[in-house]
Structure 1
Amino acid sequence: MKFALLYHYDPSTAGPVEEEVADWMAFDGQVREAGLLVDEAGFHMRDKALTVSVRDGESTVTEGAPTSGPMLAGYYLLDVADMDTALEWAARIPTAAYGSVEVRPVVEFEFEG
């Protein structure tokens, strides 16, 4: 089963530190060595984002993303046996120590054609 591990933190209260790099490298190596990694990415800060909304058929693009509260910093997409296993891996993501990691099962559609 595939699970998205979405890691968030609130930059107004805490954030990554230089010493964390070794923890990230270790986590990344472990998840790859276990053969569970489907995809992963970290995101630039929210001031680099563009936000699109459509109202009444009209598309609007604004600079940045919402600036209050936790921000989505990145994700891992893992293929693991079950939710319990996904939760175990989520707890190992360094951001969990000062932010949070949301774990969501991924809907996998099967298309005919």
Structure 2
Amino acid sequence: MPKFALVYRYDPAATGPTDAEVPAWFAYDKEVRDAGVFVYEAGFHEAGAGRTVSVRDDATVVDDGVTSTSGDIAAGLYVVDVADINAATSWAEKIPTARYGSVDVRPVVEYEG
């Protein structure tokens, strides 16, 4: 079966996770694992703890903090192993962040060899 990354994001200037959301995350995590589609998951620390790196004309620019052109920041991801993008979308809509942010559903490229 193909793997899909479910990258959840939100605009921290507008809204964000709350303590009341924690049980929903635990329930989601249990459901994904119990369904046997779980591959990997990780949440990210706040954007200010990271860096943005770009290389233009052989010059590397490193900015402290993660920058975004839309205001949304990636907060974490799940990788699921499901039949197709429709199944992945069904898992994406259950991610708590989808209620106030968005979830990108991206096919994972797997190289062999």
TM-score (norm 2): 0.93
Counterpart position of 1:87 = 89
Q: What's the offset of the Cα at 1:58?
A: 2.5
Paired residue type of 2:24: D
Percent identity between the two aligned chains:
54
- 1:77 matched to which residue of 2? 79
Aligned partners of 2:40, 2:14: CA distance in 1, in Å? Answer: 28
- For residues 60 and 76 of structure 1, the distance between their equivalents in structure 2, rounded to whole angstroms, comes to 29
Counterparts of residues 28-39 of structure 1 (less than 5 Å): 28-39=29-40
Structure 1 Cα separation of the partners of residues 102 and 44 of structure 2 = 15
1:11 maps to 2:21:
no
- Say whether residues 1:40 and 2:19 are aligned partners: no
Aligned residues: 111
**Shift in Å, 1:107:** 1.2
CA distance in 2, matches of 1:31, 1:66: 30
Gaps of 5+ in 1: none
Report the 3-state secondary structure (helix = DSSP H, G, I; strand = E; otherwise coil) of the residue aligned with 1:92.
Answer: coil
Q: Which runs of 5+ in 2 are unaligned?
A: none
- Greater shift after overlay, 58-67 or 3-12? 58-67
1:65 aligned partner? 66
- Structure 1 residue 59: deviation in Å? 2.2
TM-score by length of 1: 0.93
State the AA in 2 paired with 1:24: W
